[in-house]
Amino acid sequence: MSNTDRKRLPGDRLWTIQEVAYFLGVPVATLYYWRTRGEGPTCCRVGRHLRYRADRVWEWLDERTACD
């Protein structure tokens, strides 16, 4: 993912695992680990690819953080 792509992640399409990792500031491997434990944001399979809905990632983050 280029620096230009990282500056804005569109909310009108599914995010890749790399985009979610960037957004959350965690390694991709962490997302895979969380997925096996049922702890990470909800994702769906599109063929053999994992994809994330932006609104669900935001909901997951809001449930686990207290940013005032």
CATH number at residue 33: 1.10.1660.10
What residue numbers bound the domain in which 17 lies? 12-63
Buried b / exposed e across 50-62, counting CB within 10 Å, b at 16+? bbbbbeebeebee
Confidence (pTM): 0.81
The number of folded domains in the chain is 1
pLDDT at 68: 58
Q: Is 13 or 4 the better-scoring residue by pLDDT? A: 13
Which tens digit of pLDDT belongs to each residue from 10-56?
778 999 999 999 999 999 999 999 999 999 999 999 999 999 999 99
CB-based burial of residue 20 (10 Å sphere; 0-12 exposed, 13-18 middle, 19+ buried)? buried
pLDDT at 1: 47
pLDDT at 58: 92
